[in-house]
Amino acid sequence: MPSANIIIIGAGRLGQGLAEAIATAGYEVMLVDKTTKLAEHGIRRIGESIDREIGRWGLTASDKRAIMARIFPTSDISQSEDAEIVFEAIPEKLAIKRALFEQLDKICSKSALLVTNTGVLSISEIAEATSRPEKIIGMHFLRPVSRVPLVEIVKGLHTDEETFNKAVQLAEMLDKKWITVNEYPGYVTTRIIVPLLNEAMHVLMEGVASAEDIDEAMKLGFGFNVGPLSLADMMGLDVVMSWMINLLDELSEHKYNPCPMLRKLVRAGHYGVKTGSGFFEYDEEGNRIGCNNNSHDEDKKQ
């Protein structure tokens, strides 16, 4: 898929990570949001992400200049008209994703690859909002997109083989390992990780061990690179809770019922890394500061 004309709709953390990965692979990409200012903010955040990589000696200043030169901001969704690949990276709400794909169906060429990134929602329900459900596919990238090597390629009920093959080409273009997933609530990664995160939260809430020790136990005992509570903070506690609620609604299994401590943190606006506070505390660059040796200072979270 050489010289791909790629559009990403949604300049949030996922859209930023995907734009960075695409530009790093050598392709130009347009980042779309409700306003150009929001898209530009997303690009600034990409620059900050690359600066952190430079600090770790993962990239150079010249790498940054080349990557940033390939990313363009806009608020004009009609730019998708001639795109070869249109990637949706907006919040995990079925109604707004369906509305977007209904709009894209009217704008995009019939040959365009239309991709939704979702960890739990039905590809088929999103695709039904269009006149071409066979051309809609899910690609579930995990954050941080630039470093996690996996993508789940999720087939909807009507996704055809040509669309699947294009998605595979896109994954390989980004140097990602891919797995094939037949649509089912939670797919593979979300369905498996959510109960583990939820149980870790219950262990913390019940005072069995501190947040620090729970994470340390899973890293040292089972070879996890990141402990479950730190991972939840990285994903965004609001996102994790939305996944749990969706799976609970779809499958009616108690293991997906969000832990009361998670509900409390989300209600208080403590979403993890992106807000600076979750199960742990973080600085403006997303680095951990200190650690929680007790379950939580409840007064602090009120």
Tell me the C-alpha distance between 224 and 212, whole Å: 14
| Sequence-ordered list of residues with C-beta below 8 angstroms from that of 300, at least 6 positions apart, any chain | none
Tell me the C-alpha distance between 147 and 56, whole Å: 13
Which of 118, 151, 182 is the endpoint of a domain?
A: 182
| CATH number of the domain that residue 159 is part of | 3.40.50.720
Tell me the C-alpha distance between 150 and 141, whole Å: 7
**Is 253 contained in some domain?**
yes
Specify whether 154 is located in the same domain as 52. Answer: yes
Specify whether 136 is located in the same domain as 220. Answer: no
Specify whether 31 is located in the same domain as 79. Answer: yes
Q: Are 174 and 5 in contact (CB under 8 A)?
A: no
Specify whether 255 is located in the same domain as 143. Answer: no
**Is 145 contained in some domain?**
yes
pTM: 0.87
Tell me the C-alpha distance between 129 and 131, whole Å: 7
**Domain interval for residue 267:** 190-275
Q: What is the pLDDT along the chain (302 residues), one digit of tens a residue?
A: 434 599 999 999 999 999 999 999 999 999 999 999 999 999 999 999 999 889 888 889 999 999 999 999 999 999 999 999 999 999 989 999 999 999 999 999 999 999 999 989 999 999 999 999 999 999 999 988 988 999 999 999 999 999 999 999 999 999 999 999 999 989 999 999 999 999 999 999 999 999 999 999 999 999 999 999 999 999 999 999 999 999 999 999 999 999 999 999 999 999 999 999 999 999 987 889 875 433 344 433 33
Specify the DSSP element, H or E, that contains 276.
none
Tell me the C-alpha distance between 58 and 53, whole Å: 5
Specify whether 110 is located in the same domain as 32. Answer: yes
Specify whether 224 is located in the same domain as 264. Answer: yes
Total count of domains within the chain = 2
Tell me the C-alpha distance between 107 and 110, whole Å: 9
Tell me the C-alpha distance between 242 and 127, whole Å: 21
Tell me the C-alpha distance between 12 and 114, whole Å: 19
**Is 151 contained in some domain?**
yes
